[in-house]
Structure 1
Amino acid sequence: MSGSRAEAEEKVGSRQRLQVNEYKENQNIAYVSLRPVQTTVLGKTPKVYLVPFSLSSYKPDQLKRPKSLLDKNSNNEVACKKCKKAEIKKTCRRILTPKMEATSSKAESTLQKSSLDVHAESNKWQYKSTSDTVILSADTESSQDGDSDEGTTPGMDDFSGLSPYEKKRLKNISENANFFASLQLSESAARLREMIKKRQPPESKRKKPKKKENETGCRRSMRLLKVDPSGVSLPATPTQPILVADENPLLPPGPLEMTSENRDDNSELFKGFLQTWAEVSKVSLGRTRSKNTEKELSSIKSYKANLNGMIISEDTVYKVTKGPIFSMALHPSEIRTLVAAGARSGQVGLWDLTHQPKEDGVYIFQPHSQPVSCLYFSPANPAHLLSLSYDGTLRCGDFSRAVFEEVYRDERSSFSSFDFLAEDASTLIVGHWDGSMSLVDRRTPGTSCEKLINSSLSKIRTVHVHPVHRQYFITAGLRDIHIYDARCLNPSRRKPLISLTEHTKSIASAYFSPLTGNRVVTTCADCKLRIFDSSCISSKIPLLTTIRHNTITGRWLTRFQAVWDPKQEDCIIVGSMAHPRRVEVFHERGKWVHSFLGGECLASVCSINVMHPTRYILAGGNSSGRIHVFMN
């Protein structure tokens, strides 16, 4: 008996274990391993039945053996039933965790199929050998931290041969899939799409209340309704034409009596003023001009020394006209210092600086109704002051007879500038704002011009005659500068002899040098002063120098006009926007020569400046009618 029992035990020990391979259809499904576990051999062979179950509807207490199996077991099986039942429940809890509830139905069917195959195979083994006891247990990977020291799950090494890292990765994939499935993102996205697709209800437009036809209107004045208290309409009152007064009415044609606006005509001061002009008219300026022409130009060093000696004081600053000064002229007398200024209001102011106090030496006249843009003392008679205005009139103030004579008048056009074609001031060239020019002969009776020529310019700002070859004159337009020959002017020919097209913006003025006419200086809004070589008047005049200078005065200040010094024709004088306020002198080569600074006496911009032909006297006018005089 003992020998047969020992042989049976050896057979049982040498018997190979039953192995069941798991079904791998989806890598996200946990592996199921079924293997026989060697246990204590009992007297009878127990039978194990595998029943299909669902993962989604699993409950821990659901997996129980049928009562029929319990009834068939012997008393020896009852002793180990509790142990086996506890072991099965523990294994099932590891397999069926709450996270597996969201597994797809495909995984459930796969697991059921594998369970049925295992049940059939176990029955086959049971039929062959009834003396062996086989207990099938289902194990699942458990790679949680702290499950085992080696980080592996028993039962997986024999089948898959996966490393701990791969097992942990598979577990993480499964847990992430279950987590996202539990969030129900697809359902939330579907609900959001439905909410977006829903059309928003159109905005309800507010309905305007309908006006009642019989609604009573507001009360109105019977005077506004033009009815009397009884309700009868009043007759319409005849409307009288409203006479709008012209701000700048034209003065009557013909000569105007010279009456001062700030003095009494019968006062002793005014009579003395007229007597002074009569004495000045006796001075012959022909000799002085010939002497200055023959005289050579002084050196720049001596010229600078004379300019440094010119100063300004409170006695040489005074407000002469009303409004901005548009033009200025200095009387050529060497005995008296007489300054003339033309204002925007049409006034002409005269200031005798040799008279003290200075208030008594100022006289204001009104020969024009619009801005006086050009002033010249006659080269033939220094007692005559010619003034040109925007109002289309050119007048000559004769202080010996106290009258303003009318030289030329054209009410259909506006004048901009003029100059003398002849040295005796008998003929003049007048520029119009519309681009036309007039040749005026003062020897003919009346005030009609001899010729009216339309130039190629759209506008003419300044006109200046060559000091030596007086048949040539230069005109400054908007962007171009033209030089004409007065002998070739006729209505059919408008082409100039020379055109200077180097300017890029609006031009303010263009003047020949005073003694020889060999240079031309132009002032442009592009902040450049240009000097051209006009020594040989041909088809082209070369550009000599370009001087950078700020010429932007704005709309409230009179525009700058660079002019030549009659004593030193290689130097130009121009106002400045720099602080402190000043008047600057430049050489024709572009070098700075001198700056006239006045401190508190010169606190504004002098846009218009003029130099005495023989003395070192500079007069500058600003945009408020004030004159500043620098003198030795």
Structure 2
Amino acid sequence: MAPEKLTEYERRRIENIKRNEEMLAALKIQSRVSELSAVTKRPRAQSKSYQASPQKKQKSKSPVVLRRSLRTKGIPPDSSTAGGIKDDSDDLPDRIAPNKYSQPAPKKSPREPIPISMRDAYSGDFDVSNQRLIETIKDFSHKIDDGDDRIEKRKASGTVHLESLRLEPDNIARVVPGRILNVRFFPTNNVRMVAVGNKFGNIGFWNVDAPQEDGDGIYLYHPHSGPVSGIVMDPFSASKMFTSCYDGFIRVMDIEKEMFDLAYLSEHPIFSISQWPHDMNSIYYGEGSGELGICDLRAGKSSVSWKLHEERINTIDFTSENCNIMATSSTDGSACIWDLRKVSAHKPKSLQTVRHKRAVHSAYFSPSGRFLATTSIDNTVGLLSGANYEDTSMVSHFNHTNRWISSFRGIWGWDDSYIYIGNMQRGVDVISVADKKLDFTLRSEHMTAIPCRFDAHQDKVGMLAGATSGGQVYIWTAS
């Protein structure tokens, strides 16, 4: 059969294809593509991070978005879930990469006042990781209950030689995405574990001593819909942990039930929480513009509400010697000491008030209860002492941070000697109470971010956790 005669268009098309193939061969495009493909498939070393998961697929820098109608997804047009991924940009001004936090949403929205199972709130790919954390916490919780790891009412006390504090590379991990607002050690000697809360409503756990088969020991949950404003560890029951949020929720993580249960729901944002030392069923919380409430966990409702400040309450703390003595710090520029037995609902009057020129972000009692340390954005750390805290000293310290970095909060260590607070040079400043001045700065080549929030392990003298606005946790230990 004679070949069909080509049209002029077809002939030119064949010539163009042939010419393009010759050009590609001359430029060696195919060989370069093969080389690049081989490079990208090389295994990369993993660091300790919530992102480190060999099962997860690597996300492209330019993801392809498939547009599908709500009708094909089975979602009504007026559904509140329209749009798919929750936009966190309103809660946090930090600049984030596209799709960085587009994790699968919990099956039950954290905005709803209902219990959320830990499995539904877990942000990982596999249920086995969630179960590892649950079993780990259950294990050391039972040891505390059985008396093998009994936690006393007061934290461990001892003097630390500042020069002996070290930061080892294995004690550094990125636990959550974004800014950390709270960091707490679990009250146990058997396992070094911290919990952190961030601006996105995530709760992250890091088991520093996790066995190799458990991976990096980092677990990420999403039980809240806004910034996590407080974390409280029950010192007598490590199986329960309380968290508060700007969305007005107080949730209790109950390991025995494997749930993030609802403990209390407020009509206003909750900015701080604390637990009354002599009653584990009483949670004190700061809400709205300066109100302090007391939640009875057994009844699930607020029993008391006092107007203590003109602006939000940032921290609530109690002395170890007298649980009726409470301190509050506020954005209104004051820190107050209260006697709960004498607080009137109509006109509360503080035992002592220290005023700063700017917002006060923290007020914490020393381990003995003899001192109160306040941290203000006016570049001072206040120190109250005396029988009735009538003596006030101000120590100069640069406390200004920018909009992307959490405010500094000075905390006490394991005795009344030092106050630990972050600085803008990626170090930890140590203020001497005796000298009333900056005495020492903890520095390390491994510290690559600014530590803002701290916690001192209540049972291990010399173990200090610092958290950053990039989601990292650094743990200093005494050598």
Tell me if both proteins adopt one fold, taking TM over 0.5 as the criterion.
Answer: yes
Distance in 1 (CA, whole Å) between partners of 2:220 and 2:200 is 12
Alignment correspondent of 2:222: 366
* TM-score between the two structures when normalised by the length of structure 1: 0.55
> What is the 5 A alignment of 1:190-269?
247=87, 251-259=111-119, 261-264=122-125, 266-267=127-128, 269=129
2:183–2:455 Cα contact (<8 Å) kept: yes
Alignment correspondent of 2:464: 618
Aligned AA for 1:606?
P
Deviation at 1:291, TM superposition (A): 7.7
Distance in 2 (CA, whole Å) between partners of 1:241 and 1:621 is 40
Q: Does 1:323 align with 2:178?
A: yes
CA distance 1:291–1:414, change in 2 (3 Å) = closer
2:185–2:193 Cα contact (<8 Å) kept: yes
Q: 5+ unaligned residues in a row in structure 2: which ranges?
A: 1-76, 89-108
Distance in 1 (CA, whole Å) between partners of 2:417 and 2:168 is 28
Q: Does 1:602 align with 2:447?
A: yes
Deviation at 1:598, TM superposition (A): 1.8
Distance in 1 (CA, whole Å) between partners of 2:375 and 2:405 is 15
Tell me, what secondary structure is at the counterpart of 2:312?
coil
Deviation at 1:506, TM superposition (A): 1.7
Tell me, what secondary structure is at the counterpart of 1:315?
strand
> What is the 5 A alignment of 1:451-530?
451-477=304-330, 478-501=332-355, 503-514=356-367, 516-530=368-382
Tell me, what secondary structure is at the counterpart of 2:313?
coil
1:380–1:423 Cα contact (<8 Å) kept: no
> What is the 5 A alignment of 1:334-373?
334-357=189-212, 359-373=215-229
1:189-218: per-residue Cα shift (whole Å, max 9, x none)? xxxxxxxxxxxxxxxxxxxxxxxxxxxxxx
> What is the 5 A alignment of 1:290-439?
297-298=158-159, 303-304=160-161, 307-357=162-212, 359-410=215-266, 412-439=267-294
Distance in 2 (CA, whole Å) between partners of 1:546 and 1:625 is 31
- Specify which of 134, 139, 145 is matched with residue 274 of structure 1: 134
Choose between structure 1 and 2: higher strand proportion. Answer: 2
Tell me, what secondary structure is at the counterpart of 2:142?
coil
Aligned AA for 1:493?
K
* TM-score between the two structures when normalised by the length of structure 2: 0.72
Q: Does 1:531 align with 2:377?
A: no
CA distance 1:464–1:618, change in 2 (3 Å) = same
- Specify which of 575, 600, 609 is matched with residue 422 of structure 2: 575
1:138-190: per-residue Cα shift (whole Å, max 9, x none)? xxxxxxxxxxxxxxxxxxxxxxxxxxxxxxxxxxxxxxxxxxxxxxxxxxxxx
CA distance 1:266–1:291, change in 2 (3 Å) = closer
Q: Which has the larger radius of gyration?
A: 1
Aligned AA for 1:310?
L
1:537-588: per-residue Cα shift (whole Å, max 9, x none)? 3xx6211x332211111111000000011x223211110113xx21122221
Q: Which has the higher contact order (CA 8 A, sep 6+)?
A: 2
1:320–1:362 Cα contact (<8 Å) kept: yes
Alignment correspondent of 1:557: 405
* Residues 519-528 or 466-475, more deviating: 466-475
Q: 5+ unaligned residues in a row in structure 1: which ranges?
A: 1-239
Alignment correspondent of 1:72: none
Alignment correspondent of 2:152: 289
Deviation at 1:608, TM superposition (A): 0.7
Deviation at 1:325, TM superposition (A): 0.3
Deviation at 1:424, TM superposition (A): 4.2
Aligned AA for 2:113?
P
Distance in 2 (CA, whole Å) between partners of 1:270 and 1:452 is 37
Distance in 1 (CA, whole Å) between partners of 2:130 and 2:346 is 50
Choose between structure 1 and 2: higher helix proportion. Answer: 1
Distance in 1 (CA, whole Å) between partners of 2:277 and 2:420 is 26
Alignment correspondent of 1:104: none
Distance in 2 (CA, whole Å) between partners of 1:621 and 1:474 is 24
Deviation at 1:330, TM superposition (A): 0.7
Aligned AA for 1:330?
F
1:275–1:400 Cα contact (<8 Å) kept: no
CA distance 1:290–1:418, change in 2 (3 Å) = closer
Distance in 2 (CA, whole Å) between partners of 1:630 and 1:402 is 31
Tell me, what secondary structure is at the counterpart of 2:284?
strand
CA distance 1:292–1:554, change in 2 (3 Å) = closer
Aligned AA for 2:296?
D
Tell me, what secondary structure is at the counterpart of 1:360?
coil
CA RMSD for the aligned pairs? 2.5
1:456–1:494 Cα contact (<8 Å) kept: no
1:473-502: per-residue Cα shift (whole Å, max 9, x none)? 11112211122222334432223232222x
1:422–1:428 Cα contact (<8 Å) kept: no
Distance in 1 (CA, whole Å) between partners of 2:309 and 2:186 is 35
Tell me, what secondary structure is at the counterpart of 1:312?
strand
2:194–2:206 Cα contact (<8 Å) kept: yes
